[in-house]
Structures are given as structure tokens and as C-alpha cells.
Amino acid sequence: MKKYLINAGIMAALLSVLIYQVGCGGKVIDNTRELRSMVLTPDEPTVTAGGKLNFTAVGIDQKGEKLFVSPVWEAHEGTVDSAGVYIAPGYKTIDRVTAFVNGIMATSVVSVEPLSEAEKIEIHFQNKFIPVGTSVKFYAIGKNKYGEEVTVKVAWTCLYGKIEQDGTYTAPIHTCHEAITAKSVSSTGVLPVDISPGGVQKIFIYPATTTVRALNGIKFTYQAYDQYNNAVDSQPRFFSRRGKVTDDGYYVAPLQTGSDEVAIVHNFVGDTASIEIIP
């Protein structure tokens, strides 16, 4: 079996050629001068997503003087052609454009900003309910076709309350299903919200007076209202002075005849019903 020995010098030469070919690209226009470095312009540009930039590469020779070069171009996320014309990707990012000439390179960092036109408007508010007569603040956020946030100027409107052009909204004094609208030149956003009643200010028990036979029962009901007389759902507590009353208002009279009272209370707001107990 033959063994082939490769001279170490030949191996080194082959390796040098391989490295040179990998790092090689572009050319120097004036071969009588030595390229030491390159400068790209623009060096830290900003471009809108999908936009275009024209890059120029200038070589610097051993004397620090400018040298015309024809580099090989490369972009990381966007594209760049042989003339240095760069097309940005369609989204917000930080990209790099690099020019290569014979193993010497120069890089420019490109800030790609999102498209400024909003295709969607989101209205932000932390709650789904707004109590009657109260004021809150809405915010509009624009989203371009890639879902990136963009600055957007909107006109605010609503159906029943009052809204200022800074997004400050004042609810009406009646309950309703409201719609908050933010409209820009290119898009419209709508947020439905419910105008809910305020806190309990008044509560009434029914019947207010009644007659019940001893050991018999009757069902009491109630209705609660806010300060604007909107009906309020509540969970009050029932109390009886002599008889027994359940949490849902069902009262049972005691054995002894006479008078009794059933009280209803919700957050220190209450009402009382009078009961005459007969044989």
C-alpha cells in the first residue's frame, strides 16, 4: 500500500490560496496604489422600512489619500446590489451593510424605522365598564401592516358621552352601551364600552308595610338606585327584629302576634319594612 506524502510547504501554499479566495472580493481601480482601509457613506443612516439608500465606498491608500474601489456588497437583512443600492426590509430592525475589497471591509449600521402609515388603530383603556358621570382617558396606538407601533394623530368621537380631542371622556348620567371611535387619515378604531350605574345611593324594600299571620311567611324584594336614579344590581343584607329572614328576603313571622320590622342594608344605605303579625 503506497503512502503519499505532501510537502509541508505545498500544504501551506494551498491553504494560503484558499484563505485568499474566501476573503477576496471587489477590486482596486488603481493597482499602482495600496488599499489600506475603506469608508462607507452614509455611515449610520436611517431609512423607512422598505425604503432605499445609495451607499458609496471610498478606499484609503497607504498615504491616507482617497482611492477608487469597486467593492462586493453585502446586507444582513435587506438587499444591496453591485452598485451599492440598498433596499431595507419591511420591518423595524438594525441592519448592516458591508463592502469588501481583497479582504478589507467597511460596515455601515442602518436603522430601519417602521412604516409611518397606520393600517390599524387600537384604543387602549384598562376597564370594560365606566361608571355614569365619571371621566376617564383613552389612548390610541397606530399599527402598520407589520404590526409595529407608529405615531398616529386621531380624531375622537363617541355616541352618548362627551370626549375631548386629547382622549378625555366623560360618561353620560344614564347607563348605555357606548362606542369610542378614534379615526386617522388612513384607519379607524372602535372600542365598545358599557356605561354602568354608580354606587348605591338609595334602596327601597317592598312591600313597605304588610300583615302576616303568626308562623307564616312573605317574600320581600328591593330595588337600589345610584345618584342619577339608575337601577343598580346589589346584594344587600336582610335583618329582622323578631322573625327570621333569609338572604334572599324570605321572612317567617314568630309565634307571638304584634309588630316586627325587616331591614335591608347595602354599604350603610338601607330601608325598613313594617310588619303586623296577626293570629
Average pLDDT over residues 153-163: 96
Grade residue 7 by pLDDT with cuts at 50, 70 and 90.
Answer: very low
Domains 120-196 and 202-278 are alike in CATH topology: yes
What are the Cα distances from residue 182, in Å, to 51, 136, 157, 170, 189? 28, 15, 7, 16, 5
Asked if residue 117 has pLDDT above 90, the reply is no
pLDDT in tens, 10-35: 333 333 333 333 344 676 666 678 89
Q: Sign of the C-alpha dihedral, residues 207, 213, 214, 215?
A: negative
Looking at every residue in the chain, the average pLDDT score rounds to 89
pTM: 0.61
Q: Are 228 and 132 in contact (CB under 8 A)?
A: yes
What is the pLDDT, as a whole number, of residue 176?
Answer: 97
- Homologous superfamily of the 8-113 domain (CATH): Immunoglobulins (2.60.40.10)
What is the pLDDT, as a whole number, of residue 32?
Answer: 73
Say which CATH topology domain 202-278 has: Immunoglobulin-like (2.60.40)
Q: Are 61 and 34 in contact (CB under 8 A)?
A: yes
Grade residue 126 by pLDDT with cuts at 50, 70 and 90.
Answer: confident
Average pLDDT over residues 239-249: 96
> How close are the terminal C-alpha atoms of the chain, in Å?
127
What is the pLDDT, as a whole number, of residue 30?
Answer: 62
Average pLDDT over residues 123-129: 89
Integer Rg of the chain from CA: 40
What is the pLDDT, as a whole number, of residue 33?
Answer: 82
Domain ranges of the chain: 8-113, 120-196, 202-278
Grade residue 66 by pLDDT with cuts at 50, 70 and 90.
Answer: very high
For domain 120-196, give the CATH number: 2.60.40.1080
What's the rounded Cα separation, in Å, for the pair 121 and 139?
10
DSSP string, 38-83: EEEESSS-EEETT-EEE-EEEEEETTS-EEEEEPEEEESSSEE-TT
Contacts of 169 (CB under 8 A, 6+ apart): 130, 135, 136, 137, 138, 156, 158, 161, 162, 163, 180
Q: Are 161 and 170 in contact (CB under 8 A)?
A: yes
